[in-house]
Amino acid sequence: MVETWGFDRVGRHWMRVDLDITIEMSVDALAKSKHKLTTFEIENPTNHIISINNLIAHQLNAYVH
């Protein structure tokens, strides 16, 4: 689906240069933490995104370590 929105895959990331957007797909990490996800639908499939609070905590933890 990401391809149909004009994103190009670069490793584990999807990029859309014209909009300056990068998305990281981490299916394994998300599968273990379903309680941290927000669910939404775009064009029928169900999608999951990490909540902003958990994203900030994850990034701070990555910075420290």
Tell me what pLDDT residue 11 has.
84
Q: Where are the alpha helices (DSSP H) in 2-51?
A: 27-31
Question: Which of 36, 27, 40 lies closest to 57, judged by CA?
Answer: 36
Instruction: Quote the CA–CA distance of 16 and 2 in Å, as a whole number.
Output: 10
Q: 28: domain range?
A: 2-64
Q: What percentage of the chain carries pLDDT values higher than 70?
A: 77
Across 40-46, average pLDDT: 73
Instruction: Quote the CA–CA distance of 34 and 22 in Å, as a whole number.
Output: 22
Q: Is the pTM of this model over 0.85?
A: no
Report pLDDT digits (tens) over 14-35. Answer: 889 999 988 776 666 556 666 7
Tell me what pLDDT residue 5 has.
79
Report how many domains make up the chain: 1
Q: Tokens standing for 9?
A: 């895959």
What contacts 16, CB < 8 A, 6 or more positions away?
Answer: 5, 6, 7, 8, 22
